[in-house]
C-alpha cells in the first residue's frame, strides 16, 4: 500500500512540476511577444454573457452586432486607411 501511495505522490509531484515549468516558460515567452493591435481592445460594444438576460431576443443581439461593426468601421478601418495613406 505504501508503494502505491508513494507512486501516486511522485506522479502528482512530477505533473505539478511539469505544469509549473510550462507556465513559467509561457510567462517568459509572453514578455517578448508583440503588443496587441488596436482592434483587440478598442471596441466598447462587444457582447458579453453579462449582457444576456432572459428577456434578450435575437433582434437585441443583432442590433448589438450592428453597433459593434459600426464601431469597428469607425475606430479601426478608417484609422488604418488614414495610416496607410500617410505611410505611402
pLDDT tens digits for range 38-51:
767 777 767 778 88
* 69 pLDDT above the threshold of 70: yes
C-alpha cell read off for 72: 469597428
What band does 83 get if pLDDT is binned at 50, 70 and 90? low
Please give the backbone phi and psi of residue 83, each rounded to the nearest 5 degrees, phi first. -60, -40
The secondary structure element, H or E, covering residue 64 is helix 58-72
Average pLDDT over residues 59-72: 88
Amino acid at each position: 500500500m505504501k508503494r502505491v501511495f508513494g507512486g501516486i505522490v511522485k506522479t502528482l509531484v512530477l505533473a505539478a512540476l511539469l505544469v509549473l515549468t510550462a507556465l513559467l516558460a509561457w510567462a517568459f515567452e509572453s514578455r517578448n511577444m508583440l503588443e496587441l493591435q488596436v482592434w483587440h481592445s478598442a471596441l466598447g460594444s462587444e457582447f458579453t454573457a453579462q449582457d444576456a438576460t432572459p428577456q434578450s431576443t435575437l433582434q437585441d443581439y443583432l442590433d448589438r452586432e450592428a453597433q459593434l461593426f459600426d464601431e469597428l468601421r469607425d475606430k479601426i478601418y478608417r484609422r488604418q486607411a488614414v495610416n496607410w495613406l500617410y505611410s505611402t
